[in-house]
Amino acid sequence: MGGYGAYIWPAYAVFLVVLLLDAIAPRLRRRRVLAEIRGKLKRRTAREATR
C-alpha cells in the first residue's frame, strides 16, 4: 500500500466493523422485542386463568 497501509487498513476496518454492528443490532433487538411480547402474553393468560 505504498507506505500508507497504516492509514488505509484501519479505515477499511472501521467501515466493515461499523456496518457489521449495523446488521447485528436489529437482530438482537428483534429477539428482545419478541421475548417481551411473549412475556406480556403469558402474564395475560395467567391472569385470565386465575379469574
**Site residues for other proteins per CB under 8 A:** 1-5, 7-8, 10-12, 14-15, 18-19, 21-23, 25-27, 29-30, 33-38, 40-41
User: Which residue's CB is nearer to other proteins, number 16 or number 49?
Assistant: 16
User: Which residue's CB is nearer to other proteins, number 22 or number 50?
Assistant: 22
User: Distance between CA 10 and CA 32 in Å, rounded?
Assistant: 32
The nearest distance, CB 49 to other proteins, in angstroms, is 17
User: Distance between CA 23 and CA 17 in Å, rounded?
Assistant: 10
List the grid coordinates of 34. Answer: 419478541
